[in-house]
Every structure is written in C-alpha cells, then in structure tokens.
Structure 1
Amino acid sequence: MSNKNTQALSDAGVSIWLDDLSRERLTSRSLVKLINEKNVVGVTTNPSIFHAALSNGQSYASQVAELAAAGMDAEEAVFKITSDDVAAACDLFAPIYAASNGADGRVSIEVDPRLARNTAETIAEAKVLHELVARENVLIKIPATVEGLEAIAETLAAGISVNVTLIFSLERYRAVINAFLTGLEAAKANGHDLTKIHSVASFFVSRVDTEIDARLNAIGTEAALAARGKAGVANAALAYQVYEESFTSERWNLLASAGAHAQRPLWASTGVKDPALPDTLYVTELCAPNTVNTMPEKTLEATADHAQITGDTVSGTYEDANAVLDTLAALGVSYNEVVDKLEVEGLQKFEAAWNELLTDLAASLQKAGK
C-alpha cells in the first residue's frame, strides 16, 4: 500500500526516482519494497553511488572472482558490473515503463566522467553503454558541459534516450533544451521513432544553496544571513519557467506532432545539506507537474514520514524567484561565478569517485585472481 505523502506527490505530477542502486538493493528486494510502498518509479546512478556500492559488503565478490578468472582489467570489469546492475533494475522497472508509456520505469547509467570534456568519446561511450545494458528503458547520463551539448544531440539523434546531468545555470539549461531539440530533429530525419525517445534534464539544487550560503555567511550582514537557503529553490523554479516557455514554441510543436515527448525537468541533489533547513525542502517547494525528483533514500523516507504536499508550489513563483537572485546580486554574490564553480567541482567529484572505483576494483580483481 502506497504511503500517503509519496502518493500525493505522484498525484501532483512528480515522478519519484531513487538516487541509488546496488546489487544488494536488487537481491534483497528493498527496491521492490520502495516501488510498492513509496511510489518509486525509477532509479538514477552516478560514479559516487557505484563506488559506494562496490566498496561495501560482499554482494559483488562472486562476480569479481569470475571477472578476474576471465582476465578482465578494472576498466572492463567496472562496465560489466555496473551495466549488469542497471540491466537488472531495468527489468524490474519494465512494467512501470510500459504502463507510463516510457516516461518512467527508467534507470540511468553515466558515461565515464573523465570524458566530460571530450565530445567524440562521450558519444562513442554513450552508444557502447546503450548496447551493453541492452534495455529500452535505460537512460544514458551525459554531463551538460559545453562539450557535452553536441554529445547530447548526437546521442539522441541515434535514437538513444538521455539523462542530461550536472546542470546548474539557467543559461546552460537553455542550451541543453536546444541540444535536445536538435537531437530529436536529427533523430526524425534519421528515421527513428520519436515516441520511443525520452529525456530528462537534471538540475542540481542543494549544491547551489551550499555554495551560496557559504558566501552569505562570509558576508555576515543581517541581509545576507536572511537570504540563506533560498537560492536553490529559486534557481530551480526559474528553470521550470524556462521549461514551460521552451515547450510551447513552433519548433517544439513540429516535433510533438511527430510523437516526441518533452524533456522533463529533473530535480537532482535534493538531499538537504544544511540541518537548519527543512529536510524535505527540495521536495515540498519543488512540486510541479511533469517533473522528476530523484531522491536519496534519506530524503525519500523524510518525505514519506512528514512532508506536507500541497500541490503545485512552483508555477507562478517566478517573480519571487527572480527577486531572490536579484537580492544575491545586490549582496555581491556572483551567480555566474557560483554556477561555473559548481560545474567544475561536480565533474571533479565524479571523476575522483570513478578513479577510486577503478583503484578499488583493480585491487579486488588482483586479490580474487591469486
């Protein structure tokens, strides 16, 4: 039986995806429990999540031993292990995928973050990952770097569904939507069925507040301290305004008439970092139709326990959201400087997690091969 709060969120048009995946989650059926009881209809992964999964417990021991016996190195093994997990999760979500006409029941897997500045290699790996998982409901995650924009368009043009990740700025989000439209136009020209192609645009939320609030604390004035904890929601609300405006254009209407699905905004990094803020802030204040909220389990449990879901809390808040950003600018906080820094740091964190994953897996393979 579904939880009343997560059901209310779903009824308001928000798809709940879990920001976590591991072999243990699959074998213990804890993921099934979240599907049945907490309205979870998809899963996202990233290098940090996979590093944590492979570092804990013995769930992967037998497969690591098999891969070591087969002579695989860490690079080969990591793609085999992660794609197997994603494929199994895709199978689990297949009924939801079918029932939602492909919008949900999705499982995301990310290209090697070390390729984020290399367009050609990102495109090539996106296609390889798509073939490795070999499931229609997989989403290939591509970071929204400048170099990633062409990769996003080319991957969509090949008929592959994409989760565009690591978006912080409104300007970059507009460029992502343009890449999405360009990719669908090419996919149509290439003869692909547009009804089968889906995409989400992952707008990161809590990291914006973490960075901006640190700057406000450093300023230390009464006005600066009063502005804390507002930027993440405001930035996401303005992204939703961009979404609403972008998918009413004549360019979009031509694609929609051919069966295309709009690229939905996805709220990522929705675990609240500041204990002074409500732990469901990025759920209750970012409730809007046709969105996805990908939550760490802690946020999902908090939502189920005590979130007050009151329907759409985003539409029509754009004037207030702009006022928040104007206040920050007046206080001397540079929006462009913040979002540029966050993109660089986000890539660094994912690359570090990927390198640690490879190092740990190489050690495990060596140990298993003795």
Structure 2
Amino acid sequence: MLSQPAAQLLEQLAAEGVSPWLLATGAREILPASPSCRAAALLRGAVAPAADPAAVRRACDALRGAFAASGGLQGRVSVPVDPRSAHDASALVAGARTASGEVGRPNLLIRVPATTAGLSAMADCLAMSISVDADLVFSTERYEEFLDAYLTGMERALAAGRPLGRITAAASVPVGVLDAEVDRRLPESATPAGPAAGLRGTAAVALARQLHRLREQRLSGDWWRVLRAAGAEPPLLVWTGVGPWHVGELVGWNTAQAASLEVLEAAGARGGLRGDTLLNAHGEARRAWEALEGLGIRMRDVARDLEAAELSRLRQAWPFTS
C-alpha cells in the first residue's frame, strides 16, 4: 500500500503537469496487481524491463483509463527492444514492429536506445504510427538529435495521412546514473570550502533544465506549428531512475518521473513540492554545467561513456536469446 504522504506527492506532481510513472522491476507483473492498491490508481505510466507480451498487455490495460481520460497523453507503458541491436536501425525497427504487433495496445511505447541508429529507427517508427521512447539521453547534443528525429518522423506520418494525435514520442534521461557518474568524477578531496562544494548531485538537474529549454525553443518553429495544427502532441521528457532528492527538483510541464515505489515513499517523507523548477531555469543550469567543466568534468565524455556502459549493462541483462 502507498502511504498518505506518498499518495499526496503523486497528486501534487500530477497537478504540476508531471506524470508519475513506476520504474518497474518485475517482468511478470509490471504494475501493482491489487485493485485496492492506491499506487495503481495514481500512477500514470510505467518503464518496464523486457517482459512477456501478456504481462505488457496487463500493464497497458491497467493504465487504459488514464490513457483514455488524457486523450493519449498519459497511461503509457515503455518496454525495450533488444539492446544488442542498438547500432542496427533496421533490426530496431523490426523489433519495434514485432513488439507492437504482439502487444496490440495503443498505449504501448517501444523503448529504443538513443544511438544514431536508434534515432533513425525512431523516425521510421513514428512514420508508421508506432510510439517510441528514446532512452539513454545524456547530453543536449543527443537531445537535439532526438528532436530532429521526432520532427522527421512526424512529418513523414503527416505526409502519409496518419493521425498524429495517436503517436507519442518520449526522451528518457537516466538522471540517477548521470548524477552518480559525475559525482564519482569530482575531486575526492572536495571540502565544504573547496571548488566542488555544492556541485555534487547537480548534473542531472542542470541537464534537465537545459533540455526543457531546448524543447521550448524547438516547439516555437514553423514546422512544429504545422504538426500541432494536425494534432501532434509535444514530445515527452521522462526522468528515469530518480532518487528521492530528484523528485522536487525535476518538476515541469509535460514531463514524467519514473521511480520505484520505495523512492516515492522516501520522497513523500521529504515533504511537498515547491512548484515548477525547470521553466526559465536554463541560465542557472548553464552556470552549473560550466562549473563542472571548470573542474575538469567533460560532460560530452561523461555522456559518451555512460551510453556505452549502459548499453553494455542492458545487453548483458537481456533475458531472451536469438
């Protein structure tokens, strides 16, 4: 059961335009199965591991009410394709088509790595009305490429006469592993008065604020206005692997936070939210980014290394054989 403070936190997040998602670990049951579980009623999405299509269908069906009530903006379930194909666009598209056909639910999100091949596959999938969650976005440069792929795919879908309102695109940012890696690279001799003081745990929030700003800028362009008039919805930003301290710091419109129930409980115990923390905060984010760079933390190197490490981890954990 979800405690009262945690339940109130989920309600506050929703009021701020943040969809609370479950970071699921179980492949047999992705969402809490009990109809009396309050979490099941308050959650608005899930990031799931590789799972049997039947389990994915059950999760999609559990969120179908949220999906319908929001006009398709919420109630999504993100499941991965084979990460061993991370650099093979055609294999990723084939995997996405297979998974979409096997699950057969409109609120399914196919999760692909945001590699160059993955973003190419994403554009192809969107053009075919397959909704996509591009994972492992660790830099502003990669997010720019995501937005390019999003616009390309949606333009192709529009040209093909497909209903754009039925297509969702999300970019997932693993904030927990990003903060952990940057903090690991900070000088170990840091003291409260040293150069790294106050910088631990700041990388993910700084990146999130910059990505939020980039999305605002790109959605002010002419092509976006054409797509919006045709029914397209803005791409979603999903913060994954959040810790309790991230929850109140990553609050912004049209975003989602994917966390475990344990993290949500811990975040609820920390107290309420303090409003939107992403809007118009890009200047502060840039200063934090520059401070990290000034200590020798090359954020492009961090992004490259984390992508490689996470892909290796996902490949090793993939439960299915060819």
TM range (shorter): over 0.9
Instruction: Give the C-alpha shift of residue 32 in structure 1.
Output: 4.8
Please, which of 133, 140, 143 is the counterpart of residue 170 of structure 1?
140
Asked if the contact 2:87/2:117 (under 8 Å) is kept, the reply is yes
Instruction: Give the C-alpha shift of residue 25 in structure 1.
Output: 5.6
User: Could you say which residue in structure 1 is the equivalent of 2:71?
Assistant: 101
User: Could you say which residue in structure 2 is the equivalent of 1:229?
Assistant: 201
Amino acid at match of 1:341: D
Distance 1:250 1:269, change over 3 A: same
User: Could you say which residue in structure 2 is the equivalent of 1:114?
Assistant: 84
User: Could you say which residue in structure 2 is the equivalent of 1:147?
Assistant: 117
User: Could you say which residue in structure 1 is the equivalent of 2:44?
Assistant: 41
Q: TM-score, normalised by structure 2?
A: 0.92
Distance 1:30 1:333, change over 3 A: farther
User: Could you say which residue in structure 1 is the equivalent of 2:13?
Assistant: 9
Please, which of 46, 53, 61 is the counterpart of residue 91 of structure 1?
61
User: Could you say which residue in structure 2 is the equivalent of 1:328?
Assistant: 292
User: Could you say which residue in structure 2 is the equivalent of 1:161?
Assistant: 131
Distance 1:101 1:28, change over 3 A: closer
- The higher radius of gyration belongs to 1
**2:305 pairs with 1:341:** yes
Q: TM-score, normalised by structure 1?
A: 0.81
Amino acid at match of 1:16: P
CA distance in 2, matches of 1:245, 1:46: 33
Aligned partner of residue 224 in structure 1, secondary structure = coil
Superposed CA offset, 1:84-130 (max 9, x none): 11111111111111001001111111110101111110011101100
CA distance in 2, matches of 1:169, 1:111: 22
Q: Please tell me the root mean square deviation across aligned C-alpha atoms, in Å.
A: 2.0
Superposed CA offset, 1:285-312 (max 9, x none): 0111111111122112223333321210
CA distance in 1, matches of 2:17, 2:31: 27
CA distance in 2, matches of 1:193, 1:25: 29
More helix by share: 1
Unaligned runs of at least 5 residues, structure 2: none
Asked if the contact 1:207/1:269 (under 8 Å) is kept, the reply is yes
Amino acid at match of 1:33: R
CA distance in 2, matches of 1:173, 1:288: 17
Distance 1:307 1:30, change over 3 A: farther
Aligned partner of residue 273 in structure 2, secondary structure = coil
Please, which of 124, 128, 135 is the counterpart of residue 98 of structure 2?
128
Aligned partner of residue 168 in structure 1, secondary structure = coil
Please, which of 301, 304, 307 is the counterpart of residue 265 of structure 2?
301
Q: Which moved further from structure 2: 333-342 or 210-219?
A: 210-219
Instruction: Give the C-alpha shift of residue 319 in structure 1.
Output: 1.1
Asked if the contact 1:5/1:305 (under 8 Å) is kept, the reply is no
Please, which of 350, 353, 363 is the counterpart of residue 314 of structure 2?
350
Asked if the contact 2:7/2:39 (under 8 Å) is kept, the reply is no
User: Could you say which residue in structure 1 is the equivalent of 2:274?
Assistant: 310
User: Could you say which residue in structure 2 is the equivalent of 1:183?
Assistant: 153
Asked if the contact 1:161/1:199 (under 8 Å) is kept, the reply is yes
User: Could you say which residue in structure 1 is the equivalent of 2:28?
Assistant: 23
**2:248 pairs with 1:244:** no
Instruction: Give the C-alpha shift of residue 228 in structure 1.
Output: 1.4
Distance 1:210 1:175, change over 3 A: same
Asked if the contact 1:83/1:133 (under 8 Å) is kept, the reply is yes
Aligned partner of residue 183 in structure 1, secondary structure = helix
Aligned partner of residue 248 in structure 1, secondary structure = coil
Distance 1:283 1:158, change over 3 A: same
Distance 1:32 1:185, change over 3 A: farther
Asked if the contact 1:9/1:311 (under 8 Å) is kept, the reply is no
Distance 1:328 1:264, change over 3 A: same
Amino acid at match of 1:299: V
**2:177 pairs with 1:207:** yes
User: Could you say which residue in structure 2 is the equivalent of 1:66?
Assistant: none
Amino acid at match of 2:40: I
Amino acid at match of 2:279: S
User: Could you say which residue in structure 2 is the equivalent of 1:286?
Assistant: 250
Amino acid at match of 1:138: L
Unaligned runs of at least 5 residues, structure 1: 51-81, 272-279, 363-370
Superposed CA offset, 1:170-228 (max 9, x none): 10001001101100011111221111111111112121111111111346461124421
